[in-house]
Homo-oligomer: A and B are copies of this chain.
Amino acid sequence: MIIIFHKDVTEEQIQNALRKIQTLGYTPHLSRGAVKTICGVTGDDRAIDESEFDQLPGVESVLRVLKPYKLASREFHPDPTAVDIGGTAVGAGSFTVIAGPCSVENEQQVEQSAALVARLGLKIMRGGAFKPRSSPYSFQGLGEQGLQILSSAAKRHGLSVITEIMSEHDVELVARYTAIFQVGARNMQNFALLKALGETRTPVLLKRSMMGTIEELLLSAEYVMKGGNQNVILCERGIRTFETQTRNTLDIAAVPVIKRLSHLPIIVDPSHAMGDWHYVPAASLAAMAAGADGIIIEIHPEPAMAKSDGKQSLNFPHFEELLTRLRDLAPHLGVSVR
């Protein structure tokens, strides 16, 4: 951290700041320049809150030098991390395609989806049993029954399951059925849930919230990792902007930015980002080209009849066609589709 003082700072104000730094257990290094007086601070300053300093009398601004996250950072862990999901490594030069319905509706729908996913050579199926819905009157998911349907279809077809967890209460329950927890966008900063997941060793897919910065996403990953669970996969699923043609705005740059800042795998959710299946193939191809480690995508045997997100779900022929295109493209981008 570097503290830059106002040009008219008084000696007393400088001494006051030095005292505060020492009180907090850090070492100040004062440097009186011709233009500005500046104070460097050594020690791991991640625990320091800039707001503890920038309102001190005489202080003009405070510059953080260390990134506020550590375990999630590329500096701390230079090599990319691969997260193992039931034997499939996400992030090690592969492009993982996770597919399945938005929500579990009934056995037939899940069975059909699982059969397709397996037939196409994929390894992980998505499906929601607990659904975060803006309205309490909307379909909230089948709960544990949904988990059972999902899990048995997956077993029959040799797939791993990823499903959403919405409550600390459900950690144990959901862990019995899933290979990886999905934390939805609305819970990216549900710190109680993140801490609870940090105490497990089950992998976590952490979705960026629709108004979360990339730095906040990495800090939320840090909550899980600080608890001891290093198996975190990040997910860009679109942020909220003024544009209304798509449900959200896919921040495709999040992929290379996160690749540079962090060692964690980053995948893209083109379905929620677009909100309209017409645009999902373009977004999926763009995700691969931008360097993402995979996609998580919504499919449905009959989208027009889906209980939720039908508009953004690919039907089976469209999904198969997209997968063919992704597989064609993959070797030219140095990855293989799994």
Instruction: Tell me, yes or no, whether A158 is within 8 Å of chain B by CB.
Output: no
Bound: A169/B196 CA distance, A: 11
Find the B residue at minimum CB distance from A38.
B38
**CB-CB < 8 A to A12: which residues of B?**
none
Find the B residue at minimum CB distance from A209.
B211
A56-72: which residues lie under 8 A (CB-CB) from chain B? 56-57, 60-61, 63, 65, 68-69
- Closest CB of chain B to A177's CB: distance in Å? 18
Interface size on A, residues (CB 8 A): 108
- Closest CB of chain B to A283's CB: distance in Å? 6
Bound: A195/B321 CA distance, A: 42
Asked if residues A213 and B191 are in contact (CB atoms below 8 Å), the reply is no
Most buried by B among A169, A222, A241: A241
Asked if residues B253 and A246 are in contact (CB atoms below 8 Å), the reply is yes
Asked if residues A278 and B290 are in contact (CB atoms below 8 Å), the reply is no
Find the B residue at minimum CB distance from A56.
B304
B-contacting 9-mer, from A109-117, A130-138, A146-154: A130-138
Asked if residues A279 and B257 are in contact (CB atoms below 8 Å), the reply is yes
Instruction: Tell me, yes or no, whether A33 is within 8 Å of chain B by CB.
Output: yes
B-contacting 9-mer, from A41-49, A82-90, A92-100, A199-207: A41-49
Asked if residues A213 and B283 are in contact (CB atoms below 8 Å), the reply is no
Q: How many copies does the complex hold?
A: 4
A251-268: which residues lie under 8 A (CB-CB) from chain B? 251-257, 260-261
> CB within 8 A of A249: which of B52, B249, B277?
B249
**CB-CB < 8 A to A178: which residues of B?**
none
Instruction: Tell me, yes or no, whether A74 is within 8 Å of chain B by CB.
Output: no
Bound: A84/B168 CA distance, A: 31
Asked if residues A31 and B33 are in contact (CB atoms below 8 Å), the reply is yes
- Closest CB of chain B to A259's CB: distance in Å? 8
Find the B residue at minimum CB distance from A32.
B31
**CB-CB < 8 A to A289: which residues of B?**
282, 285-286, 288-290, 329
Bound: A138/B222 CA distance, A: 12
Find the B residue at minimum CB distance from A227.
B136
A123-168: which residues lie under 8 A (CB-CB) from chain B? 132-139, 166-168
Instruction: Tell me, yes or no, whether A239 is within 8 Å of chain B by CB.
Output: yes
Asked if residues B189 and A286 are in contact (CB atoms below 8 Å), the reply is no
Asked if residues B166 and A167 are in contact (CB atoms below 8 Å), the reply is no
Instruction: Tell me, yes or no, whether A244 is within 8 Å of chain B by CB.
Output: yes
Instruction: Tell me, yes or no, whether A175 is within 8 Å of chain B by CB.
Output: no
Given contact pairs A136-B191, A213-B244, a sample of 9 additional A-B residue pairs in the complex whose CB atoms are under 8 Å apart? A2-B4, A49-B138, A60-B65, A134-B189, A186-B190, A241-B249, A241-B251, A250-B253, A289-B329
